[in-house]
Structure 1
């Protein structure tokens, strides 16, 4: 049911804004550690940015597993989200260190869900996102009807261009493995600065 979906807000960049988001009915907060992203936390982020009581997700693209483990330990991450060409072995190394692993897959009309099979034993969730050159954050949706072709047993997060008016459509998806939604650019006033009113509206409509 939609009211049971996990809500992840990704691209947290500002401490005060993070505190406002954290006060909402959200489950996970995402922090991007990928330099080319407009939502990159920066080389010297404010320490308060990570002082969240909600579970934290570190987002990486083709980063070394041991670098990820070091950051996860120092910053108290509970989850890692991998958006590059990471293999099942890398995912397994992270999972063996008690991290929950989300593996992102870029979606377009040509995507073959068989690509997810090798990861079934080494991740906790898949994340299906719109295919872009930027590894996410495009603000564009993919064709959600493609999800009907996913027959795997690993739960997944829906990502890519979700906006404040999409709650009703998400509730109609009714896919048995849909575990959560990943909210980002569709709820921003500028990259990394989340619009609290839009988030509140969406969460209310999704949960009611």
Structure 2
């Protein structure tokens, strides 16, 4: 099975329309004010009307009532949590009938045992490069570290995935790899995706 495609960090309607023409499985909108890809003034009602793709809201240690209200306004089908959100926080959100994707920053010192408490309250994990900026670094972590991943839960692979290494990601041979998350390495500037580069990369995936 080829992994699903998530294109994250969208904020401009015309660019979003172009991204949707590529038919990704997920698109992501970042609600962390510290991100260069913060959605800003993107109109909730306009996003809510988008069809044919799973819309994902990305949050970092946000007030849970704010997350719930935003998910409703934008008609999100998935919530990605990129901070220190607790298992109880995830369980509460999961009752809203959205997919819960819990992100973890990975480095050589990551303790895989911390995943155990999240097993029953998340649908997917997302593994990104460890960073104080909560993602968007464009830096790839050592994918060999995934050899230590102890769970059967499917995961999104993020962190420095670009056109030059997407084939390597597809060759990981890990049946738990559910989706690849394409973001900062596919931009002309933060929040503006390079449609031609994405198109070529998606063709690479389809040809594998």
TM-score range (shorter-chain normalised) is over 0.9
Q: CA deviation at 1:64?
A: 1.5
CA contact (8 A) 1:82 1:102 kept: yes
Structure 1 runs, 4 residues or longer, greater than 6 Å off: none
Show structure 2 runs of 5+ residues with no match: none
CA contact (8 A) 2:155 2:176 kept: yes
Show structure 1 runs of 5+ residues with no match: none
1:55-108 CA distance string (max 9 Å, x none): 100000001212111111111000000011101111011111101000000111
1:16-56 CA distance string (max 9 Å, x none): 000000010310010000101000011x3245355421210
CA contact (8 A) 1:92 1:122 kept: yes
Aligned to 2:31: 33
Per the normalisation by structure 1, the TM-score is 0.95
- Count of residues paired in the alignment: 205
Aligned to 1:144: 143
Partners of 1:138 and 1:184 in 2: CA distance: 9
Partners of 1:125 and 1:207 in 2: CA distance: 23
1:73 to 2:37 alignment:
no
CA contact (8 A) 1:60 1:84 kept: yes
Q: CA deviation at 1:114?
A: 1.0
Matches within 5 A, 1:26-175: 26-42=24-40, 44-47=41-44, 48-53=46-51, 54-175=53-174
Per the normalisation by structure 2, the TM-score is 0.95
Aligned to 2:18: 20
